[in-house]
Structure 1
Amino acid sequence: MKAWGGFQGLTAAAKLLGVSAQQQQSELAAFCWARAQLGGAVQQLTNLRTFAALPERVEDSSQQQGTTRNIGISAHIDSGKTTLTERILFYTNRIHAIHEVRGKDGVGAKMDFMDLEREKGITIQSAATYCQWKDTNINIIDTPGHVDFTVEVERALRVLDGAILVLCAVGGVQSQSITVDRQMRRYGIPRLCFVNKLDRSGADPFKVIAQAQAKLALNAAPLQIPLGLEERHSGLIDLLTMKAYSFDGAHGQDISVVPMTADQQQLAESKRADLIERVAEADDELSEMFLMEQPIDAGTLSEAIRRATLSLKFVPILMGSAYKNKGVQPLLDAVTAYLPAPEDTNYTALDADKEEEPLPLTSGRDGPLVALAFKLEEGRYGQLTYMRIYSGTLRKGDSITNSSTMKKLKVPRLVRISANELEDIQEAEAGDIVAIFGMECSSGDTFTDGSGRYSMTSMNVPDPVMSLALLPKSRDSGGKMSRALSRFLKEDPTFKVSVDGESSQTIISGMGELHLEVYVERMRREYDVDCEVGAPRVNYREAITQRTNFDYLHKKQSGGQGQYGRVIGYMEPLEEGNKGVEFVNEMVGNAIPPAYMPSCEKGFLEAANTGNLIGHPVEGIRIAVTDGAAHAVDSSELAFKLACLYAFRDAYSKAKPVILEPIMNVEIRAPTEFQGTIIGDVNRRKGLIQNSEAEGEDVVVEAQVPLSDMFGYSTGLRSMTQGKGEFTMEYARHASIPSEKQSQLAATYRSSR
């Protein structure tokens, strides 16, 4: 097969030179004879030439590229993102002492600067920082791993050029790893994988790589293999240079070349061959060299990896142990070598003056200013607005225009951010991530220099799935609570606030128990507001299951001008997966004057906000008006709006409505001895087991469970597993509930009214 691959390469070259098919065939016998005679010698010579040409160290192939990298670090919870960021800051001299996420010194990691983050040992808010590695400036955003704070990952990835996906060498590809990978694909972000925690008991990086290839469908291969695992982990073998490196010193800062054993050399050669083959699948230049069996040196391979990574066809995998200070410096080299600079990324704005025509942006300081406000934060000196500059230059004192409101604003103070520390700067240019104080705007607003009405595309914001009722304990706390909720609304697009029309309670909605718990605690600490918290409410939805017609006449006459409006049409469920509410005008003629059609649409949409069963919004429905009638004197916009509202309520009950509840993807990890207890509890909670498999000494159970049955699960799981179990939960879909539960909820709703 190798001989045939080589001949195919020659055939392709012959075609380019115009050699006929007959001539090609006549050469086949001679080629095969020569290849058979010289096969062993050629292979030996190829190996000698390949490794003799390798440099001592791969030169940074990005030196001719831009000198800025904007990267995010994302992963499943407890994969070591924040620990990795702490080491990066140490090796780039941004900090001079290493502190741990759950450190005993009470300091905590640099990027977890909120008191709540340090107490809980988790990242709640994405935190930005910057550093310099060799000649490259790196802007880093450390994102949360908990699914309740997924919007922090969304808005970080929206403005970044590249990312590092951290995978645990023991846990492998977990539920949130899959979610993060999906987010990276959504925004087309090139990424590296870093297999962390090689020092942990049960670490198996090759199993993790196989999971990344299978579960994430990545064309991925390692650039390194470990020198020892678990407590014997001491360093890495670089498959490009074929050299082994150890990381010594108090903080792994002393890197030295160490000899390899014969077994290690053999494994490295095998993995290097696999790496070349995987990259060749994604890069035409390397593919040609691979088919022609030409020697591939480290520089050539590095350039091919960069091209394949930027084209999203290949994902390099690096590895190490951030906690044990191993493998972080090569990861920084890989960031500069393989991830894109702003100049390598094609960004597009929408020109509002030309019907949102796409406008390619050149990432240069001389272009028109286009900057996106992607995150808001309330600081000591007012609102802090995080901005990514896509084009042009932003200077302190400049007047810039908000494309959403067309208001001109002055830049009073421009800063770079390093966690909770700020550094004043005079200007920033395309590719930079900076912050501005004292600017009133919303998350997602685009700013320009006034040369045009440009806007960047918005990010994906998931709907909240859980609600809580809040009541301040003291009367004078109402104003403070309003200020706190107003601030949180600006900061977090997934956080919603409403007032219950019947009970007048303030309702907050979010992505889960932890999400809402954090905001209630922040109100207490930052605004001195103690609240009584009502029982969690599930955000149910309603839907219809069959088509039904309506013909409703709204007629009212009580002296003076009356009200008259008649609407005829039908309502039907939309195709599966469509959650919207569609209004369709199928009128033939003007039985209803066109001026009243907007009122009809408004009436139907308003009615769909409150279903008849339990008062929750209706989704997945199409409402069509086919006919109607109007009165020359008594018809009005109000009359037709009321006619549509009543027509909806009348027809809705005949369309066999159902209640939909949120179903959650739940992943539970605990010691194998508790497997039976966990599965039994999931079944008791009306969950459906999707998968159950052993990973080392643990079992991982994947299930789909109704959200209403998951309240208080963290406490239940701790008691079932002696505190050794953990779980993550993510919204999957809405699904209809059993008829007996529907009757119970509907009866409760009617009695409360």
Structure 2
Amino acid sequence: MSSSPTLKTAASLPQEVARRRTFAIISHPDAGKTTLTEKLLMYGGAIRSAGTVKGKKSQQFATSDWMEVEKQRGISVASSVMQFEHDGCVINLLDTPGHQDFSEDTYRVLTAVDAALMVIDAAKGVEAQTIKLLEVCRLRRTPVITFINKMDREVRDPLELIDEIEETLGMPCAPITWPIGMGKQFAGVFDLGSERMLKFTPGESRPETDLEVLEGEDHPYLVEHFPIAHATFKEEVEIVREAAESFDHEAFLAGDLSPVFFGSAINNFGVRDILQALVSWAPPPRQREARQRTVRPDDGAFTGIVFKIQANMNPQHRDRIAFLRICSGEYRQGLKARHVRSGKTIRLDHAITFMAQERAHLASAFAGDIIGIPNHGRLRIGDVITEGEVLELEGIPHFSPEIFRMARLNDPLRAKQLNKALLELGEEGTIQVFEPLEKTGMILGAVGQLQFETVAHRLQTEYGVDAAFESVPVHKALWVSSEDIAAMKRFTQANANRLARDAAGTLAFMAPNRSILELTIEKWPEIDFNSTREVGAT
């Protein structure tokens, strides 16, 4: 990444864009995603030690789980962005929430990447959250690399795992490496292309670059020390070579095939292969569709879209950062840009890049990069920023919540602070906030209960507001719209007591039960009832 604030020549923009690799890591909780993230950062030279090593102040330490509630629970509930260089490429790595209650945040992150790395626990196989996330990838035809983790434990048969991935996720797999044994009998992984084996040595402090490489699938070391595992491996490899899909780069780029790697992230094993695959196979930034035209990454003019807003990344400053994916051109310090939704000109002076908790100011960034823009309420999720052109990029999805609550203050005098806090959290996408047209108070919508715990924690620690949450008689919230303005006006007047506006001001019908929802939809055929809302510049 260039540190020069000067404008690049036209010839360098395509070169810089071609160097970018922007991907997200997705998984079910506890599959080892955060551990793998740290090990990728280690191999990329971005950190010197993983999160389990904290003692020496001289060592550089970073972990993607930075929010206090994450540390308490040992899970990821916020998305982190990390950038580093490796083998001539600039890697933008987005670590997504692993907990299913925060799946909506992950969906939004997946709109900002060009590839995904799917982590699967070899003992558990394909789990519910993995299926949901891959469905989003398939919908967007995002290339997916699969890493089957925890082979150093007693796990399931690898052939069975491959079959389950293909059947459950509906995606053919092309094994690139294959494990020899598992648990205490885990000898290493065999590269099916080069016919070389990386010998496994337990111990997470051992760098993979120091591991021994054995030539051929019948190496004497395997036959002597792992005779049973070796015999099983020979049988499996024969089946794989006859029945499994061969790797096809074009099919991978089209989202129709996933290369599969085996390893143990906690032991630094198999991670180097993953990083090399991302550099060699993952696509550089791709073009984006706008209502007006196709936006190509090497277009000279700057274009970006806000896909996430996060507050309190630095608790000492109570800051709010808008995460922006650059879709075309180059960011330059001091860039004067158009905020398409408002039509106003804004000056981008203090963009930052991230390394988990650490941040650095940028003089320059290119299409494919993720930059942070300090935000004081001006920017929202889905906002488009350009160098002047009016463009409406494909929006960022919002999904209808499944659980609804109302906040109850333990101190009624803090009502003003509560409303301000909830509106800000709603703009971030931490939780969905609906303000009824005719009733007082705000209705909060979430995918899972943990989101309310996170909101309660942040209300207390960031805003000094002590609140609990009570059930509210809402069965479903559907966004409503109509091309018939008169019909929309009649609908709004007739149903005002069941209508609310979300954080973006969009109208939603708050159905108290299934029967009333069905009757209302039947009664008002001119009105569109939507379970998703695309957020963009309109």
Fold-level match, TM-score > 0.5?
yes
Corresponding residue of 2:281: 338
Query: Which of 418, 439, 459 is the equivalent residue of 2:355?
Result: 418
Tell me, yes or no, if the aligned pair for 1:151 and 1:494 is still in contact at 8 Å: no
Tell me, yes or no, if the aligned pair for 1:196 and 1:322 is still in contact at 8 Å: yes
Question: Secondary structure at the residue paired with 2:334?
Answer: coil
Query: Which of 67, 73, 95 is the equivalent residue of 1:142?
Result: 95
Corresponding residue of 1:325: 268
Tell me the amino acid that sits aligned with residue 436 of structure 1.
Answer: I
Greater helix fraction, Structure 1 or Structure 2: 1
1:309 aligns with 2:261: no
Question: Secondary structure at the residue paired with 2:320?
Answer: strand
What are the equivalent positions in structure 2 for 1:216-615 lying under 5 Å apart?
216-248=169-201, 250-253=205-208, 254-259=210-215, 260-261=217-218, 263=230, 266-267=234-235, 270=238, 273-274=241-242, 278-279=245-246, 305-342=248-285, 345-351=286-292, 359-364=293-298, 366-379=299-312, 380=317, 382-438=319-375, 440-450=378-388, 452-492=389-429, 494-498=431-435, 504-534=440-470, 536-537=471-472, 539-541=474-476, 599-604=489-494, 606=496, 609=499
1:162 aligns with 2:162: no
Question: Secondary structure at the residue paired with 1:192?
Answer: strand
State how far apart, in whole Å, the 2-side matches of 1:163 and 1:318 are.
14
Counterparts in 2 of 1:239 and 1:155: CA distance versus 1, 3 Å: same
Query: Which of 23, 42, 50 is the equivalent residue of 1:90?
Result: 42
State how far apart, in whole Å, the 2-side matches of 1:410 and 1:614 are.
47
Corresponding residue of 2:7: none
Question: Secondary structure at the residue paired with 1:93?
Answer: coil
Question: Secondary structure at the residue paired with 1:159?
Answer: coil
Corresponding residue of 2:517: 618
Tell me, yes or no, if the aligned pair for 1:348 and 1:456 is still in contact at 8 Å: yes
| TM-score, scaled relative to structure 1 | 0.59
Corresponding residue of 1:132: 85
Corresponding residue of 1:10: none
Counterparts in 2 of 1:441 and 1:611: CA distance versus 1, 3 Å: closer
Corresponding residue of 1:291: none
- 1:415-465 CA-to-partner distances (Å, cap 9, x unmatched) read 111112111111111121111124621111011000x21121112221112
State how far apart, in whole Å, the 2-side matches of 1:391 and 1:67 are.
14
Offset at residue 599 of structure 1 (A): 4.3
State how far apart, in whole Å, the 2-side matches of 1:612 and 1:508 are.
14
| TM-score, scaled relative to structure 2 | 0.81
- 1:60-93 CA-to-partner distances (Å, cap 9, x unmatched) read xxx9992211010001111111110011111212
State how far apart, in whole Å, the 2-side matches of 1:607 and 1:478 are.
22
Tell me the amino acid that sits aligned with residue 335 of structure 2.
Answer: D
Structure 2 regions of 5+ residues with no counterpart? 1-14, 224-229, 500-508, 533-538
Tell me the amino acid that sits aligned with residue 166 of structure 2.
Answer: Q
State how far apart, in whole Å, the 2-side matches of 1:213 and 1:96 are.
36
Tell me the amino acid that sits aligned with residue 338 of structure 1.
Answer: W
Question: Secondary structure at the residue paired with 1:457?
Answer: coil
Counterparts in 2 of 1:104 and 1:511: CA distance versus 1, 3 Å: farther
Counterparts in 2 of 1:428 and 1:206: CA distance versus 1, 3 Å: same
- 1:598-633 CA-to-partner distances (Å, cap 9, x unmatched) read 64354356477489987997356244699xxxxxxx
Tell me the amino acid that sits aligned with residue 256 of structure 2.
Answer: K
State how far apart, in whole Å, the 2-side matches of 1:373 and 1:427 are.
18
Structure 1 regions of 5+ residues with no counterpart? 1-62, 280-303, 352-358, 543-578, 586-594, 627-661, 663-730, 732-753
Offset at residue 221 of structure 1 (A): 2.3
Query: Which of 67, 79, 82 is the equivalent residue of 2:19?
Result: 67
Question: Secondary structure at the residue paired with 1:524?
Answer: helix
What percentage of aligned pairs have identical amino acids? 24
Offset at residue 467 of structure 1 (A): 2.0
- 1:479-524 CA-to-partner distances (Å, cap 9, x unmatched) read 332232122011117522436956x454322112111111111111
State how far apart, in whole Å, the 1-side matches of 2:511 and 2:196 are.
70
Tell me the amino acid that sits aligned with residue 36 of structure 2.
Answer: L
State how far apart, in whole Å, the 2-side matches of 1:519 and 1:330 are.
39
Larger Rg: 1
Tell me, yes or no, if the aligned pair for 2:198 and 2:212 is still in contact at 8 Å: yes
State how far apart, in whole Å, the 1-side matches of 2:415 and 2:512 are.
33
State how far apart, in whole Å, the 2-side matches of 1:326 and 1:79 are.
15
What are the equivalent positions in structure 2 for 1:194-233 lying under 5 Å apart?
194-233=147-186
Question: Secondary structure at the residue paired with 2:245?
Answer: helix
State how far apart, in whole Å, the 2-side matches of 1:72 and 1:95 are.
18
Corresponding residue of 2:503: none
State how far apart, in whole Å, the 2-side matches of 1:255 and 1:521 are.
44
Counterparts in 2 of 1:508 and 1:108: CA distance versus 1, 3 Å: farther
Greater RCO (Cα-Cα under 8 Å, separation 6 or more): 2
State how far apart, in whole Å, the 1-side matches of 2:356 and 2:122 are.
27
Question: Secondary structure at the residue paired with 2:256?
Answer: coil
Tell me, yes or no, if the aligned pair for 2:481 and 2:488 is still in contact at 8 Å: no
Tell me the amino acid that sits aligned with residue 394 of structure 1.
Answer: Y
Between 1:162-171 and 1:240-249, the stretch displaced more is 240-249
